Amino acid sequence: MEIYNTACPRNCYSTCSFKVQVENNTVQKIEAQPLNKATPEGVCLKGLSYVERANSPDRILHPLQKINGKFEQISWDKAFEIISKKLIFFKSEYGSHSVLFYAASGMSGLLNDVSYNFWKLYGGTTTVYGNLCWPAGLEATRLTFGEVKHNVPWDLENARLIVLWGKNPAESNIHQMLPIEKAMQKGARLVVIDPRRTPSSEQTDILVQPIPGTDAILALAIAKIIIEDNKHNKEFVEKYVQGFPEFAQSLKKIDIEKASQECGVPVDFIKELAELIGTIKPMTLIAGYGMQRYTNGGQTTRALLALSIITGNIGKKGACWHYANLQSYVFDAVKEPENYYPAPEKDKPFRRAIPTALLGEKMLEIKNPELKMAWIERGNPISQNPDSNNTLKAFRKLDFIVVVEQFMTDTAREADIILPAKSMFEQSDIIGSYWNPYVQLKQKVVEPPGEVMPETNIYYRLAKTLNFKEEDIKNNIPEPNDKAIDAWLNKYLSRYDELSLDLLKKQPVLAPGLEEIAFSDFKFNTPSGKIELYSEQAEKIWNVNPLPTYEPLEEGHRGRQKPFPLSLMSPNTKNRIHSQFGNLQCIKALDPYPVVVISPQDAKPRNIKEGDKVRVYNNRGELFIKAKFDYSIRPGNVVIINGYWNTEGGTPNLLSKGRETDMGHGTAFHDNMVEIEKVIG
C-alpha cells in the first residue's frame, strides 16, 4: 500500500487537499490531508466518490468511432489517422477557423495550456470567450478594487457579522462552514439572503428571501438607510473611496417602500439588515455566484460590494468582501477564465472567438468560414451551456466531432470519435484555487487503465501524425512520459524559490506573495488608486452606469409574467459538480433523477401533488420530471438542480436562453421564466 498527497482539480471553491491510498495500481481510499488549513477535515461526498470514478466499469478506456449510429472500438493509430485527415481537409478547404476548439472547466491545471499550443501550431481555430460560472462578479470586483482577492478562509472566524448573500456553503463550499461555526461560537451573527431556505441557513439569525434578480435594489436600499442614519465609515470612505458623494446622491431617489415591493422584502427586514450591517464590525460579506448569473449580475455585485465599502469592512481581520481569491494563481496560464475577453488583436490570426453564453446560436450563425468540425475536452456543452436545443442543433450540423471524455456524456454521444480521457490520478499537474490560498500538486498515483492516454500525449501523437515541425513540437508539447511532464512543470515552479515539485509532493504550499488579509496595505490597482464606487471603466468597457445601480431583468420578475410566471433557478448541489459525478452509482443512490422543487402554494392552483409527473416549459423547451414540494422556497420560484444529463431525465438548460451578463461576458442562466403543468395519464 502506497500513500500519496494530491488535490482535487474540479471547478469547486474548496480545491481540497487529500491523501490517496493505492494498491496494485488501483485507487483504494481517500483520506484527509490536515496540512491544508482551508480543508483540514477531508473531502466531500464527491471527493470520496473518486474511488468509484477512477475504477468505474463505465469509463471509456479505448478510442471509439461511431459507425452506423453505434460506437465501436478502434485503435489509436486508426483514430489519429481519421482525425488528422479531417483536420488537413477542413483546413485546406475552409481554413483552420472552420474547426471549433471548446474546452471548459472539467479539470484545472497548467497542462491545459498545451491544448492551446497545439491549436496554434495547427494554424488557429475558433474558440469561445467568457465563462459559464462567475465573470460578472469577477469583473465587478476588479473594477472596484483593481484585483480579485479576499482574506484567507480561516480569517472568517474573526468576523462578528457574516452575511451569506446568495451562497450556500453547506453544499457548495463545505469547508467554509468550519470558520463560520467557529465565529458563531465566539458570538458572531449570521445572516443569510437567499430565495431558498438552504442547509446554510439552518443556524442563521435572520433569513431574508428576496425575489430572484432583485438583490441590487435590496442592497442599495440597505446602503441608503446606513448612510442616512450616519452609520457609514466616514473616515474610511474619505480616505480610500472614489465616488462616495456621487453614490450617496444617487441613493436619494430610492424610495424604501417601493424598493421593498420590488424585491419582496418587508421594510422592517430591510431596516434590520441595515442596522446589523451598519453597526456590527468586523463584517465579512460572502457573495455566491448564483445571484450574478442574471442579466444584471455585474451591477448587482457592485451594489453588494458597496455595503462592505461604505462600512469600511475591507483590509482588516474579519472584514472582507469574499467573492473569489485568485492569489494562488501565480502562473498566468492557470488563471480563470482562460478566455475572459474576445480575442485581442495579437491573437486574432490564431483564434476567432464566439461567446460561450451564446454558443449554440453563434455556432449556427458564424460564416466565413462556417464551422465544420469541433474538438471538445473538459466540458459537456450540450448539457451545461444555455439553450440546449440550439446547442444540440449546432453540434449536429457539424460534419465531424471529436470528444475527449471519461464517460458517455450527452456531448460524447454526439461525437464521431471519442478519445478516452485521463482521470485526475493518472497525470501530475499544478493547480490553484479560487478560494483557498495554496498552490498544489495534483500528483500522478496510478498508470492509466486500458488504452487511456493523457491529453498532452494525445496532442503529441497527433502533432507527429500531422508532421508539425520537430522544433515546434519540442517547444510547445511535452513528450509522452512522466519525466518530461515533471520537467515541463518545473519550468513554471523555477520562477519561485518557495515552490518545487519535491515540496509539493509532500504538502500544499501557500502561494508566493500571499496577502492573508486582502488589501491590508490599502493599495488598489484601479485608475484612481482608490476603491472605485464610481467607475469610469464600467461605463467605458461595459456601457453600464459608472455607479452601482439596480437594473430590472430582461426576462424575469416584472419583465414577462405571462404566460411564464415562475422564476427557474438552477443552482448547484452537494452531489455533483455541474454535470460531473452524477453518473456514479454512489451518487445515484442518493440523487437518482432530476425533480422540480416547487412551493405547495404554487402547486395547489395547478392541481399538482407531490411526486406528480409535470411538464416544465417555456417557449424554448420542455422537461417532463417529478414535482417535489418545499414549503420554505419563496412562492413564484422553482428549482431544478443543474448538471443532470438528458439521459438522466433532462438538463434545465433545455429551458434557458443564451444571454450574456451585463459585464464580464458571463452567462445569465437564471434569468429564466417557466410554467408548470401536471401531466395527465
Q: What number is the average pLDDT over the span 182-196?
A: 96
The DSSP line for 1-20 is -EEEEEE--SSSS---EEEE
Under a CB-based contact definition with an 8 Å cutoff, are residues 263 and 552 in contact? no
For residue 590, the model assigns a pLDDT of: 87
Decide yes or no: CATH 3.30.70.20 for domain 76-131+335-399+406-419+453-501. Answer: no
Distances (CA, A) of 146 to 97, 514, 530: 34, 16, 9
For residue 201, the model assigns a pLDDT of: 87
Q: What sign does the CA torsion over 425, 430, 434, 438 have? A: positive
Cα(399)–Cα(503) distance, integer angstroms: 47
Cα(495)–Cα(510) distance, integer angstroms: 15
Which region among 34-43, 259-268, 556-565 has the lowest average model confidence (pLDDT)? 556-565
Intrachain domains 76-131+335-399+406-419+453-501 and 150-323+521-542 with the same fold: no
Percent of the chain predicted with pLDDT > 70: 96
- Domain ranges, ordered by start, for the chain: 76-131+335-399+406-419+453-501, 150-323+521-542, 566-678
Q: What number is the average pLDDT over the span 567-586?
A: 89
| Burial tier of 228 (Cβ tally within 10 Å: 0-12, 13-18, 19+) | middle
Closest CA to 80 of 458, 403, 470: 458
Confidence of residue 119 (pLDDT cuts 50, 70, 90): very high
Q: What number is the average pLDDT over the span 347-370?
A: 87
Burial string for 78-106 (b: 16+ CB within 10 Å, else e) reads ebbebbbebbeebbeebbbbbbbbbbbbb
Strand, helix or coil for residue 28: strand
Residue 112 DSSP symbol: G
Task: Give the helix ranges, DSSP H, for 477-560.
Answer: 482-493, 501-506, 536-542
Statement: residue 246 has pLDDT above 90: yes
Under a CB-based contact definition with an 8 Å cutoff, are residues 654 and 119 in contact? no
Cα(433)–Cα(440) distance, integer angstroms: 9
Under a CB-based contact definition with an 8 Å cutoff, are residues 44 and 21 in contact? no
Closest CA to 244 of 526, 520, 524, 532: 532
Cell 476603491 sits at which residue?
531
Confidence of residue 348 (pLDDT cuts 50, 70, 90): low
Cα(357)–Cα(651) distance, integer angstroms: 16
The C-alpha cell at 568 is 427557474
Digit-coded pLDDT (tens) for 8-29: 999 899 999 999 999 999 999 9
Instruction: Specify the higher pLDDT residue, 46 or 514.
Output: 514
For residue 332, the model assigns a pLDDT of: 66
Statement: residue 168 has pLDDT above 50: yes
Percent of the chain predicted with pLDDT > 90: 85
Task: Give the helix ranges, DSSP H, for 123-266.
Answer: 135-145, 169-172, 177-185, 215-228, 234-240, 244-251, 256-263
Cα(195)–Cα(514) distance, integer angstroms: 35
Cα(540)–Cα(534) distance, integer angstroms: 12
Digit-coded pLDDT (tens) for 71-97: 999 999 999 999 999 999 999 999 999
Which CATH superfamily groups domain 150-323+521-542? Dimethylsulfoxide Reductase, domain 2 (3.40.228.10)
Under a CB-based contact definition with an 8 Å cutoff, are residues 583 and 383 in contact? no
For residue 338, the model assigns a pLDDT of: 41
Statement: residue 336 has pLDDT above 60: no
Q: What number is the average pLDDT over the span 303-314?
A: 98
Burial string for 329-352 (b: 16+ CB within 10 Å, else e) reads bbbeebebbbbbebbeeebeebbb
The C-alpha cell at 613 is 409527473
Residues linked to residue 566 through DSSP beta bridges, in sequence order: 674
Q: Are strands 566-569 and 637-639 parallel, antiparallel or unpaired?
A: parallel
Statement: residue 337 has pLDDT above 60: no
For residue 561, the model assigns a pLDDT of: 64
Q: How far is CA 508 from the centre of its chain?
A: 23
The end-to-end CA distance of the chain, in Å, is: 56
For residue 287, the model assigns a pLDDT of: 97
For residue 559, the model assigns a pLDDT of: 46
For residue 28, the model assigns a pLDDT of: 95
The CATH number assigned to the domain with range 566-678 reads 2.40.40.20
The C-alpha cell at 614 is 409535470
List phi, psi (to 5°) of 593: -160, 160
pTM over 0.85: yes
Cα(199)–Cα(183) distance, integer angstroms: 18
Cell 472596484 sits at which residue?
144
Statement: residue 132 has pLDDT above 80: yes
Q: What number is the average pLDDT over the span 435-443?
A: 95
Residue 448 DSSP symbol: P
Digit-coded pLDDT (tens) for 461-504: 999 999 999 999 999 999 999 999 999 999 999 999 999 999 99
